[in-house]
Structures are given as C-alpha cells and as structure tokens.
Amino acid sequence: MRQKRLFQRCAPLSQTDHIEEDLEDLYENAPCGYLSLRPDGRIVKANQTFCGWTGYPPGELIGSRLHELLNVAGRIFYETHFAPLLRMQGFFNEVALDFVKKDGERFPALVNAAERTDAAGKPLFIRLTVFNATDRRRYERELLNARDELKVLAGELEQRVAEECAQRLRSDAALTSQREEAQLREQFIAVLGHDLRNPIASIMAGTRLLQKSNIDDKAGTIILSIEKSVVRMANLVENLLDFARGRLGGGITLVLSFQPLEPTLQQVVDELQSAHPESIIETQFALTKSVQADPARIGQLFSNLLGNALTHGTAAEPVTVFAKTEDQFELTVCNAGDQISAATRERLFQPFSRGDARPGKRGLGLGLYIASEIAKAHGGIIDVSSTRELTCFTFKMPLQH
C-alpha cells in the first residue's frame, strides 16, 4: 500500500515535467564512485566520478588490482580484515579506506562492498561504492585530537587532584598531631595547677597562724613578705588553672547569685593591702543595687586588676578603686605609672601577653586574659584607658543577665 503510494508520487506529474533518467549517465556521474572487481581483486569497471576523484584516466584503472590503489598499510588491512569479511558475509559497510591518487596524494573514502555470487555461492564479481570522506576524516581526526587532548588534560587534572589530596592529608596529619600536643600540654598544666594549690593553702594557713602569735618586728616583716609572695603565687596558680580549663573546652563556669559584692571586694582589698603594706589603696564603693554575679569570680577579676595596679603602678601614688551600680555594675581600678602603648593595649587580654612589664615584675600574662574571660562570662567587658598620668581598667557588666 505504502509502496504503491510512493510510486504514484514519483510518477511524472505531467508530460512536460517528464525527464528521462539516463542510467548510463547515472552510473558514470553518480555522486559516488563505483568500482567493479573480479573475485581476485582486478578492476573491470570504474565510473567517471571515481576516476575524477583519484585522478586516473578512465582506461588506466581497468585490469589493475584494488591493492594498487591503496598504500601498504591499507593493503595489509584490506587483506587481513575486509577481504575475508566480504567473503564471510557477502558484504561490508562503512569501511574507511585511503586510496592513493595518481599524484600520490591520499584520498580518504568510505567504502561499501557487496559480492555477487552464482547459484552455487561462487563469487562472480564484487561491487564497491566509494564515498568521498575527506571532510569527515578531517573531522574524525579533530575529534581524535580533541579526545587525546582531553585525555592529557584529564591526566593532568587527576595528578593535580592526587597531589592536592596528598598535601591535604599531610597537613591534616600535622594539624592533628599539633592539636594532640596542645591538648597534652594543657592537661599537664591543669594537673600541675591543681597540685600546686594544696601546698599554697597550707603555707597561707601557716603564715596566718604565725601572725597571731607573739613575734618580733623582724620576723613580722619576713612573714609579711612570705604572705605577699603566697598571695601572688595563689593568684598565678588560679589563673593558670582557669586558663587551662578554658582552653580545654570547659570555659569559665559561674555560680550566679544576688549576694552583695562589697564584702568580696573589700576582702580582696584587705588581702592585697596586707601583702603590699607600703602601697595606698583608696576605695569608693557605691553599691546600692544588687548584682547578679558570681562573687568568687568577681573577686578573682578584681584581684587580678588590683594586683596588676599594685605591681605596675608607681609605689608612691595611691591606687584608686571605684565601684558603683547605676544602670550597670562598674568597677574601675586606676594607678599612676608608665603609659601602656596602643600596640600593647591591643594584645593585653590575650593569654601569655605580658605587656611592657619590667623584668622581675613579670607574671604569666594570664591575669588579664582570665579577667576578661570572667567579664565575658558575666556578659560584660573590661576597658582600658591609659594616659601618661593615669592607667585605668574598667569592668562593666549588666546588673542582671
């Protein structure tokens, strides 16, 4: 049915449109090359299209063998692949062959072939259709080149990724070992700090007991200086402990209450005053409102600030302490002495930064770090202002969280 319609459509529309197809011309000038071979490969017929493409005069090809139109490599491939294939299946399709033109140039082609056999299956002749594949071959070559380039690029990429990964692994390993080392160190400090507390406590208790007994002035002075050193040492150990704990992930822990802070502050002043009898500490406490805070921690913070002021301040000048509760809790400790430079001020609250302290007056550099951590834990901050005359540390925190 479909066939019939097709034929009808192909039939000449009218007498005037009818053009007789010249089969001879179709063969000779078809848009593809035709070759007919004897079973042994000798050419018996070739059309003009093929002769034109390859540059041979029409008569010259007759009687020569197909091999002679191929280069050596093509011949080998034809003999080992295409000729047997043709015998086995009676045809081959889309085989790429390079013909050698009369001028020696290559003529890339795609070839289909069919074998014509007699009733007994004996080959009579072979027909070849040759399609010009110059552009296609060029395109294929471009594709191949692109694939090769891609392969090279992919190889490079792979190598880079591998290198990158190896480096990452190496640095990861280094980081891990660094981290482990740091953890070990801080654990060590924590244990050490803890073990130092007990002997300090017993020395402290001993000096208190001695002060209460009858002693002469000389012994009194010695006991005082022991006490001063013990207080300082106790502070250092506390700071060390807090630092280690903070770094170990515990942070500063608070026990919050609304207990009045003045007794705590006064106790710190008393303690430090007794350790520094030559210094003058002036206090002004105006604590009218209650503050939600951890008194022990506030005491530690204050002790750090006041201790610093006593250590670094000019001995002849008084250290002044103001504490007030208006819209927030403010605690200021001021001392006269050397100005703290702006650069130092920036890293003052970092651990182990010891400012421009004079030799002999150095601590661990943890005091201000711990103080600022305590301030942070209370939702507050510590400000520092320093002029040539006066250096003030001010702790501010909200009355309530």
Partner 1 sequence: MHLRAVAFGTSSNIRYYRWCRLLFDPREYPGIFVSILVRNNVHTAGTGRTAMVFSHGFGCDQNMWRHVWPAFQDQFRIILFDHVGAGRSDLKAYDSRKYSHLEGYADDVVEIGNELRLRDAVFVGHSVSAMVGLLASIRAPSMFRSLVMVGPSPRYIDDDGYLGGFKQQQIDELLDLLSDNHMGWSTTMAPVIMGNPDRPELGQELTNSFCRTDPSIAKEFARVTFYSDNRADLTRVTIPSLILQCSEDLIAPVAVGEYMHRQMPNSKLVILKATGHCPNLSAPEEVISAMRAFVSN
Q: Which residues of the chain form contacts with partner 1 (CB under 8 A)? A: 39-41, 67, 71-77, 79-85, 87-89, 92-98, 108, 123, 137, 140-141, 144
Among 234, 240, 235, 242, which residue's Cα sits nearest to residue 205? 234
Question: Could you report how far apart the first and last alpha carbons of the chain are, in Å?
Answer: 94
Angstrom distance (rounded) from CA 42 to CA 39: 7
Rounded to a whole number of angstroms, the minimum distance from the CB of residue 63 to partner 1 is: 14
Tell me how far, at minimum, the Cβ of 156 lies from partner 1, in Å. 22
For the residues of 72-89, what is the DSSP string, one character each?
Answer: HHHHHHIIIIIHHHHHHH
Residue with Cβ nearer partner 1 (149 or 172): 149
Type of residue numbered 387: T
Q: Which CB sits closer to partner 1, 17 or 135?
A: 135
CB of residue 87 vs partner 1: minimum separation in angstroms? 4
Report, in Å, the least distance between residue 76 CB and partner 1: 5
Give whichever of 35 and 51 is closer to partner 1, judged by the CB atom. Answer: 35
Give the shortest CB-31-to-partner 1 separation in angstroms.
Answer: 23
Report residue 145 as tokens: 């080149």
Q: Which is nearer to partner 1, 136 or 354 (CB)?
A: 136
Would you put residue 94 in left (φ > 0), alpha (ψ -120 to 50) or beta?
left
* CA 333 remoteness from chain centre: 45
Give Cα separations from 351 to 13, 212, 304, 363 (angstroms): 102, 39, 14, 11
Of 127 and 289, CB closest to partner 1 = 127
Residues 6+ positions from 248 with CB-CB distance below 8 Å: 183, 186, 187, 190
Q: How far apart are CA 363 and CA 333, in angstroms?
A: 19
Nearest alpha-carbon partner for 50 in 63, 64, 68, 35: 35
Which residue do the tokens 């197909």 mark? Answer: 66
Q: Between 104 and 359, whose beta carbon lies closer to partner 1?
A: 104
The answer to whether the beta carbons of residues 364 and 304 sit under 8 Å apart is no
- Indicate the residue among 115 and 242 with the shorter CB distance to partner 1: 115
**Least distance (Å) between residue 108 CB and partner 1:** 8
Rg (CA), the chain: 51
Contact call for residues 54 and 107 (beta carbons, < 8 A): yes
The nearest distance, CB 81 to partner 1, in angstroms, is 4
Residue 62's CB: how many other CB atoms inside 10 A? 13
Which residue number, 111 or 293, has a Cβ lying nearer to partner 1?
111
The two structure tokens encoding residue 146: 């692109």
- Least Å distance between CB 72 and partner 1? 4
CB of 39 to partner 1, least distance (A): 7
Q: How many CB atoms lie within 10 A of CB 242?
A: 24
Closer of 131 and 322 to partner 1 (Cβ): 131
Q: Smallest distance from the beta carbon of 160 to partner 1, in angstroms?
A: 26
CA 209/CA 344 separation, integer angstroms = 42
CB 200 within 8 A of CB 237: yes
Residue type, 344: T
Nearer to partner 1, 96 or 256 (CB): 96
